[in-house]
Structure formats: structure tokens, C-alpha cells
Structure 1
Amino acid sequence: MEAEENGRPWRVIDLNGSTYENDDPVVSGRDILGLGGFAPATEYILIEIRKGRTHLVGPDDKVDLKAHAGARFRCAPGDRAFTYTFDEIGQVSCEETIEVNELAAIFTVPEDKEMVLERDDQPDVILRPDGVVSFGPAGVEDIVTRKRRDHEFVTVTVFATAGVFPAEGALRVKADTLVSDVLERAARKLHLTDTAAWVVSIDGRDISPGLSFAQNGLSGHVDLDWLPPEGGGGDA
């Protein structure tokens, strides 16, 4: 009996979200790329995604499609792959950035857990839908799953004219953290200057950056709008 995934026989190959018919049960990376018109194969990075693991596939590497039922493939132009860990297991990406939604499609995360980006000497970042994770220089080192701790922490995202901080989703900080501390981090990351007169608000309600999140009556997840006052200046 032919191995199947989601009702599709092994001969249907999923590459970058498109499907291609194939009659050979054992194919090379070059063969897979050729189905999508990606040539020459040496100009692309190809990875296989299967059972919560990602693997680099070279142009001449062989893939047994019957044995690897349910595998998906992703490719991108380039000459290097990007490595990271997920729950201490080494993984690989064919692109320098990846959407959080794609990570969620690769790894099954229980509802009572969340994906957390860890970096040395920096607060944890909670990965949220529609966020973007970078694997480039000074990018991601480790992603782990942890029990949700909403009662102990506030998760916060800052929206400014120059962008969103953090781009991956939300910063997790203790409820007694000053709002200004998070704004300072956002300013450094987004290269903002002359923000002394800027106004921070939530759903149109101004809050005090000199107070903590708890003192401002904020809990759970918080989206901060941080903008110059109407008619005001400030580099963005």
C-alpha cells in the first residue's frame, strides 16, 4: 500500500507550498528542485520538513519518498543554510528569515505552551502569529517551548512609525517593569532618537511611561502605540 499523508500518495511532492507529480519513489535534491523549475540546483538551498524536524538536502542527496511519507520541502536561492535549535534539537532554514506561522506549521506546540526566543542577556521574546524571526547575524540562537506564565508576566509589543518591536512577536517582562524601560529597548532597536515628547497609548488611551505596567493597570498582552504628538517631530 502506498504511503500517504493527508490522503495524498507519496508521488505528490510539496515544494514551497505547491504540489508536483512524480513517478520515482527515490529522488535527488536536484530532481525535487527541477520539478519547480529551480535550476541550477547548486544555486538553491533545499530542506526537508518531516515529523517536526528539518534536514538539509544536497543536490545529489537521495530521498526515499515512500519512507519519508508526509515530508514537505522548502527551497530558496542562496549558498548557505541557517541553523538554530528548537527545544535543544538542531534545525535548519533555507532562508535568513522565517514567519512565526511557518514555525508553528513545522513544530506542534501544545495549547498550554508558547514558543519563546532566547538570547543571552536579553529578555525572552514570545513568538506570536504574523511575527518574523531572523537567523542572520546577531539573530536567533535558540527557540524553546515553555508553559504559559501569563499570571506572572506582561507581554508587550511596541508599534512606532519606524516599525514594530520586537519583530518576532512580544517581549515578556515582569509586571513591575517600567514602561519606559521597554520603550528604551524599542528606540535602540528601531534607531529612534529625539523621542522625549512622544506619546505612548493603548487603544487611544495615554499611559504613563514613568510607571510600571502594573501601575498603569496593564496585564496580559499589551500593544503600545508610541508616536510623536500631532504636529510634533522626532526621527522615525
Structure 2
Amino acid sequence: MNTVKHYEYCLDNQIITTNDSVINGRQIRANAGLNPASDYILIEIGNNTSRSIGLEEMIELRPNTKPTFLSFKSDRSFSLTINERGYEWGTEQISATDIRRYANIPDEHELILDSAQDNTSDSLRGDSTIIT
């Protein structure tokens, strides 16, 4: 009788399986061959949010759930706000497609870049890229 539990998570569109129910950010990176782990930012995609995962931060994996992570070769994360919700990203640029995907914004909704730095508002069309 096999009592070993397998846990899954998704990193950069790849499913990774482990026997560990608790894993840290360093292990998640290493399991995907992202070495040295400190050269990569790990972003967990949540329900209309995202956050960076530190090297020693513990993540609890559960059966029948599959947390999703993205990796970026970078030493810093970037913050942005979409519809009054905070997001973190691994590069200073993010595409309109990624904003729609991770913030669950329908295609028929217009994306407006509201920049407090230059007091302007611009409409983002197609697969525009913005700098956070």
C-alpha cells in the first residue's frame, strides 16, 4: 500500500511534483534548476494578486491544489496596483496581456495607465508593455 503523498505546484508553466508538504522558496527554485537560487525572484500568483517569495519563506502544499509561481532572473521585485489591489512582479516591465491574465480583467474592459509621476492617463491597447 502506497501511503506517500505527492504534492504539485506550477512554476513557469511546468508542473513540479514533490513528496514534501512544506517547501521553501530556495527549494522551489532549485527543483526547477534555477541556480543559484539567489539569482531569481519567485512570484506566487494568487487570486487577483501576486507576491514575492523569499528564499527561506515556507510554502505549505496541499493535496488537490496547485499553487502557481513565476520566476524572473533578477535581484529585485517591483510593485504595482491594479484596481486597488497590490501586485508584485519580477521585472520593471509587464505586458497588458499579463495584467489581464493575472488580475482577471476581461478583454472588453479598457486598461488605463494612471501615472502619478507625470499626471497622465493612457489607454493600453493590444499587448502594450508598461514600466512599473
Partner of 2:72: 76
TM-score, normalising length from structure 1? 0.48
Q: Does 1:35 align with 2:31?
A: yes
Higher radius of gyration, 1 or 2: 1
1:129 and 2:126 matched: yes
Change in CA separation of 1:82 and 1:76 when aligned onto 2, cut-off 3 Å: same
Give the structure-2-normalised TM-score. Answer: 0.82
The answer to which structure, 1 or 2, has the higher relative contact order (CA under 8 A, 6+ apart) is 2
Aligned residues: 125
Match of 1:89 in 2: 85
CA contact (8 A) 2:96 2:127 kept: yes
Q: Equivalent of 1:59, from 52, 55, 80?
A: 55
Alpha-carbon RMSD across the aligned residues, in angstroms, is: 2.1
Q: 1:68, 1:80 → 2: CA distance? A: 31
- Show structure 1 runs of 4+ deviating over 4 A: none
- Paired residue type of 2:46: R
User: What is the CA-CA distance between 1:31 and the residue it aligns to?
Assistant: 1.0
Structure 2 unpaired stretches of 5+ = 1-5
What pairs up with 1:84-163 in 2 under 5 angstroms? Answer: 84-110=80-106, 113-120=109-116, 121-122=119-120, 124-135=121-132
Q: Do the aligned partners of 1:82 and 1:96 also contact (CA within 8 Å) in 2?
A: yes
Distance 1:69 1:105 in 2: 19
Are the counterparts in 1 of residues 9 and 17 from structure 2 also a CA contact under 8 Å?
yes
Cα pair distance change 1:68/1:53, threshold 3 Å? farther
Mark the CA change 1:67 to 1:85 in structure 2 (over 3 Å): closer, same or farther.
farther
The change in CA–CA distance for 1:52 and 1:69 in structure 2 (over 3 A counts) is farther
Displacement of 1:51 in angstroms is 0.7
Distance 1:116 1:98 in 2: 14
Q: Taking every aligned residue pair, what percent have the same amino acid on both sides?
A: 26
How far apart, CA to CA, are the structure 2 residues paired with 1:111 and 1:44? 31
Q: Distance in 2 between matches of 1:11 and 1:127?
A: 38
Provide, for residues 130-184 of structure 1, a one-character-per-residue CA deviation record: whole Å limited to 9, x for no partner: 221212xxxxxxxxxxxxxxxxxxxxxxxxxxxxxxxxxxxxxxxxxxxxxxxxx
Tell me whether 1:46 sits opposite 2:42 in the alignment.
yes
CA distance in 2, matches of 1:68, 1:82: 31
